[in-house]
Amino acid sequence: MKVTKGVKGLKTATEAMMLQPPNAEQARKQAEAECKALAIMARSAPLVVKNQGDLDTVTDLTQKIVTTKKSVTTQEKSVTKLLDAAKKGIKSWFLPMHEGLDSLRGEQDDKILKYEEELYEKAEAERRVELKREEKRLAALRRNEEKKLAEARSREERARVKAAYATKQTSVVDESNAALNQIVEEKPQMQGVSIVKRWNVEVIDWSEVPDDYITTKLDERKALEVCREQVAAGRTPQIRGLRFFQVSGTAAKSLN
C-alpha cells in the first residue's frame, strides 16, 4: 500500500475546516446575551443567605445558571458539528497513510526479528557444538585418569607379587645353590655317573624383569627356554632383571 494515498483533496479539506458555519455568529451572540443577563442577576443576589427570601432568590439563580449552561453548550455544538464532520473526513483521508506506514514498519521489524533469530540459532548451534566438544574432552580426561589409576594399581600389584616372590625365590635359590655346591665338591666314585652342568636362573632386579616372564611368580621354564636358545646360538644368555648361571650336578648313564 502506498503511503501517499489520501493526500489528494487535502487542500479542499483544509479549506472546509476554515469555513465559518452560517449560524456561528448568531449562536455566539445569543450565548453572550444569556451569560450577561445571568451575571446582572448574580450581582443583585444577596451575598449571604439570611432568610427564606434570600434562599429562594439564590435557588432561582442557581437553576437559571444550569439552564444557561445547557443553552451555551447547545449553541457551541451547533457551531462545531460541521467542523467535527470535516475532521472525521480528514482523518479518513490520512488513515491509508498511517496504515501504509505501519505496514512498512512491520516489514522492517520482521526483517530485524528474522535476523536476530538467525543470530540466536547460530549462537545456540555453536554453543551446542562447544558443549559436546567439552563433554568429549572431559570424558577423555576421565578415561585417561582411570587408565593411569589402573596402571598404577597394576604396577603396585606386580611390585607386590615380585617382592613377595623375590623373598621366597632368594631363599630357595640360596638353599639350592648350597646343596649343589656340596654335590659338586663330592667327586662321584660310581661307574656310569658323570658330572654335568645345567643352566639356572635367579632374579637380581624385579623392576627390570619383563612381564612376559611373570605370572604370580617367575616363569623359570620360559626363561630357561630362552636361555638355551641363546646359548645354542652362541650368545651369552641374558634377560633384563635376570641372571643366568650354571650349576653342576650328576647324571646317571645307562650301562647297557
Cα–Cα distance between 220 and 181 in angstroms, integer?
Answer: 21
Domain ranges of the chain: 10-121, 187-252
- pLDDT one-digit tens code per residue, 62-116: 888 888 888 888 888 877 887 787 788 888 888 888 888 888 888 899 989 999 9
Cα–Cα distance between 142 and 136 in angstroms, integer?
Answer: 10
Cell of 11: 487542500
- pLDDT one-digit tens code per residue, 134-183: 999 999 999 999 999 888 888 888 777 766 666 655 554 555 445 444 44
pLDDT at 222: 87
From the number of C-beta atoms within 10 Å of its C-beta (0-12, 13-18, 19+), residue 86 rates as middle
| Three-state DSSP state, 94 | helix
Q: Which residues pair with 242 in a beta bridge?
A: 203
pTM: 0.35
CA distances (Å), 198 to each of 36, 180, 239, in order? 151, 11, 17
- pLDDT one-digit tens code per residue, 21-37: 566 777 778 888 888 88
| Three-state DSSP state, 147 | helix
Dihedral Cα 158, 162, 165, 170, nearest 10 deg? 180
